[in-house]
Structure 1
Amino acid sequence: EPFLEAATRAMRAGRTGYSNGRGEPAVVAALAARYTARRGRPIGTNQVMCLPGTQTTLYAVLRTLVEAGDEVLLGDPMYATYEGLISQTGARVVPVPLRPEHGFRMQVADVAARITPRTRVLFLNTPHNPTGAVLRAEDIRALGDLARAHDLWILSDEVYEDLVFPGVPFASPLDLADLADRVVIASSISKSHAAPGFRSGWCIGPAEFCQRLLPLSETMLFGSQPFIADMTALAVSEPSPVAVGMAERFSRRAGLIGQALDGVAGLRVHQPQAGMFALVDVRATGLSGTAFAASLLERERVAVMPGESFGAGLGGWLRLSLTQTDERIMEATARIAAHAATLLGNAA
């Protein structure tokens, strides 16, 4: 509510004109202070760029970093829009398998095996959508060393940072001062403040990179909305009033799904460490994720996302939302279990 009031006050005060191309000074300063505190090293205002949402931010960053024929290393499974973002730059996606036996955390050996002379960017997503995996500090260190050895940029989408589950530490490549010349992180208030419709995002990176990004941003957008910038400055200057509660609820609901489905009728549940989704492995039923999801909707009236929507690496899996109430989740899991049991019975 305070953020809505801040945006409303700003509009009534006439904050509806053109804005600074880098971002309004107040929000840029607030973001620099936020990341200085969170990452434990100085982040200057010349290292901040504000854009409308994480999606626009990622596209602008990729446009600045790569050109046609370059390669971007990207974990598979992946958030559904990433492949389109990369392909629109003329670059090529090189999938890096994220394996369930490693908790879907990217492994340095899998990355190293796919580096070529055309590789330019290692694209990370931590916390990860759709798996809920969170890279550990040692993962970040190893991946960072590899990126430096091959002169790669690291782009890290960290929009779920504030939805890390209780007790799970968060690490970012931005933590490491020796990687400061090659790391760009992207985020927004969409998840942390449950405000995706405001389209308020940003990136943090080297000052020279941000200066090179500025002409592209101004060409694309000619600035962002000042009244949303005022609201965002307030939002990022203090802990989110909703993120902790969301993380606790989503963690509890992921546990409920695990209790209800893991080991039942051949199903396996991957427990997320962050975010708003849980994964269920349905391969034992003999169906793909797409076929299972379609038959589940038809027969049990339960809607889920098939894992194939997020890349070949999640074939035979489902993504379940943790945003529903506990009661609806328990009803849905009961129907999923019954459907899987029916499929196994038919197969026998």
Structure 2
Amino acid sequence: MRLTDVTRRLAGLGGAKWTVYQKARDQVAEGHRIIDMTIGEPDVATPSGLIDAVTDAMKQGRTGYSSGRGERGLRDALAARYARRTGQPISSDQILCFPGTQTALYAVLMGVAEAGCEVLVGDPMYATYEGVIRAAGADMVPVPLRPENGFRIVAEDIEARITPRSSAILLTSPHNPTGAVLTPDDIAAIGRIAIKHDLWIVSDEVYEDLIFDGVEFASPLSVPELADRVIVVSSISKSHAAPGFRSGWSVGPVAFTNALLPLSESMLFGNQPFIADMTEQAIRQGSEVAPGMRRRFADRAGRLHDRLSRDSALKVHRPQAGMFALVDVAATGMNGNDYALHLLEQEQVAVMPGASFGSSLDTWVRVALTVNDVDFDTACDRIVAHAEQFLEQTA
């Protein structure tokens, strides 16, 4: 059987990272009561107004072919939103619409990197980043995100790893899995490096609407000096509790967007018009569910931190945004993968091994903050009880 290089480059980067999640799903299918804290599903249903919008659009015949760029109404809505948010002129010609952030990332990375290139990305990172970089033929260059710096990427650490092959910096803020949020000073320093070394900045901002109180959001798209080298990707998956609709976009320089259009059209030639209409309404009206998610996720992160810090030797990194918290399980003597499997087997609580997001999290696990409060508190009780046996062994 003859296969292409891309299949070899991506070998082992798909479902292999989700072994614990799959085991938990299998146990649920067998009738076991598992508290699943692996995946970042919003904890509310998609708003009924958006469901009505998409069904009304279908009834009105919005089921034909669409523009390869994305429907004009949606692109206009996105342009207005980003112009308001950044204070910079943003036109609809700067926007391409895709089925979700993941597809947008894939297309954008194909546009800024290729064989012989390197893409710098913080380690830990979202689990699919290595795949989209390798798919383009480029090499991923991990930049360590240090707990002592709140897991925020440091400009000097980026610059220390730049080579003549470097083509892009892939940022995530708010960050998955750490929940870190880059500051305006962080962005400015990274921007200076990108200009100095003529690098693209690809900024994944899918968690922008889930920043906790007291934290300021900053985007390189807001910096005029970076206008010709920044590409933002995002979607309504998290902000509007609509992950299954797969509706995302990219925002970048007009010249880049025009150059990427043929690739986008080769992939899918436009997203569904009825979903575009729903997304336009979502963007113009804002999210009715994001404020509640922010409050609940921040509260659960605080409860997890306080409970585990008080009653176990596990260490919790409190996020500034998003749907997850990280827990350092080194005190158990296990790495994150063994710990997650052991916790699932003994306590029926499923969490993600940190190593699924990069080697720097080998002794950590990622805990989703998206389960209901009763199950969340039960899971905290079980995690504490599970950890007690390791404390007894070392006493």
| Common fold by TM > 0.5 | yes
Q: Find 1:186's aligned residue among 233, 256, 263.
A: 233
- Of the structure 1 ranges 322-331 and 120-129, higher mean CA displacement relative to structure 2 is found in 322-331
**Structure-1 residue corresponding to 2:201:** 154
Mapped to 2, the partners of 1:327 and 1:51 lie a distance apart of 36
Q: Deviations over 1:126-167 (max 9, x none)?
A: 101110011111000000111110000000000000011122
Q: Are residue 248 (structure 1) and residue 295 (structure 2) matched?
A: yes
Structure 2 CA distance for aligned equivalents of residues 326 and 225 of structure 1: 36
One-letter amino acid of the structure 1 residue matched with residue 72 of structure 2: P
8 A contact 1:47–1:210 mirrored in 2? yes
- Aligned runs of 1:186-265 on 2, under 5 Å? 186-262=233-309, 264-265=311-312
Work out the CA distance in 1 between the residues paired with 2:289 and 2:151: 27
Q: What residue number does 2:140 align with? A: 93
Per-residue Cα deviation, 1:295-318 (whole angstroms, up to 9, x for no partner): 111111111111111110111111
Unpaired segments ≥5 residues, structure 2: 1-47
Q: Which amino acid aligns with 2:308?
A: L
Distance 1:218 1:92 in 2: 26
Q: Deviations over 1:163-204 (max 9, x none)?
A: 111221100000101100000000000000010111110011
Q: CA deviation at 1:264?
A: 3.6
2:379 — aligned with what? Answer: 332
CA distance in 1, matches of 2:360, 2:182: 18
Name the SS of the counterpart of 1:210 in structure 2.
Answer: helix
* Superposition deviation, residue 69 in structure 1: 1.5
Per-residue CA deviation, residues 243-278 of structure 1 (Å, 9 max, x unaligned), is 111011100000010110025432111000111111
Residue 172 in 1 paired to residue 238 in 2? no
Where in structure 1 do 4 or more consecutive aligned residues deviate above 2 Å? none
What is the number of residues matched between the two proteins? 348
Q: Amino acid of the residue matched to residue 246 of structure 1?
A: M
Residue by residue over 1:2-54, the C-alpha shift from the partner in whole angstroms, topping out at 9 and shown as x without a partner, is 11111111111111111111111100000000000011111011111111100
* 2:188 aligned residue (141, 148, 167): 141
Q: Specify the code of the residue in structure 2 equivalent to 1:67.
A: E
SS in 2 for 1:237: helix
When structure 1 is superposed on structure 2, of 333-342 and 119-128 the one drifting more is: 333-342
SS of 1:346's equivalent in the other structure is helix
Identify the range of structure 1 (153-162 vs 284-293) with the bigger mean alpha-carbon deviation: 284-293
Distance 1:159 1:171 in 2: 13
SS at match of 1:95: strand
Per the alignment, residue 102 of structure 2 pairs with 55
**Secondary structure, in 3 states, of the residue corresponding to 2:285?**
coil
* Equivalent residue, structure 1, for 2:6: none
Q: Distance in 2 between matches of 1:6 and 1:266?
A: 49
Say yes or no: does 1:7 pair with 2:54. yes
Q: Secondary structure at the match of 1:262?
A: helix
- 2:354 counterpart residue number: 307
Amino acid at match of 1:282: V
Greater CA deviation, 316-325 or 148-157?
A: 316-325
Secondary structure class of the residue paired with 2:350: coil
Task: Give the whole-Å Cα distance in 1 for the aligned partners of 2:254 and 2:157.
Answer: 31
What's the CA shift for 1:336? 1.0
Mapped partners of 1:330, 1:28: distance in 2: 42
- Structure 2 match to 1:270: 317
TM-score after normalising by structure 2: 0.87
- State the one-letter code of the partner of 1:179: L
Instruction: Name the amino acid aligned to 2:247.
Output: S
1:163 is aligned, of 186, 200, 210, to: 210
Distance in 2, matches of 1:333 and 1:234, equals 38
Q: Distance in 2 between matches of 1:327 and 1:315?
A: 29
TM-score by length of 1: 0.98
Out of 356, 370, 376, the position equivalent to 1:323 is: 370
- How far apart are the structure 2 equivalents of 1:341 and 1:335? 10
**Are the aligned partners of 1:260 and 1:330 in contact in 2 as well (CA < 8 Å)?**
no
Instruction: Establish whether residue 297 from structure 1 lines up as the match of residue 344 from structure 2.
Output: yes
The aligned residue for residue 28 of structure 2 is none
The CA distance in 1 between the partners of 2:221 and 2:323, in whole Å, is 24
Closer, same or farther in 2 for the Cα pair 1:193/1:127, shift >3 Å?
same
Aligned-residue CA RMSD in angstroms?
A: 0.9
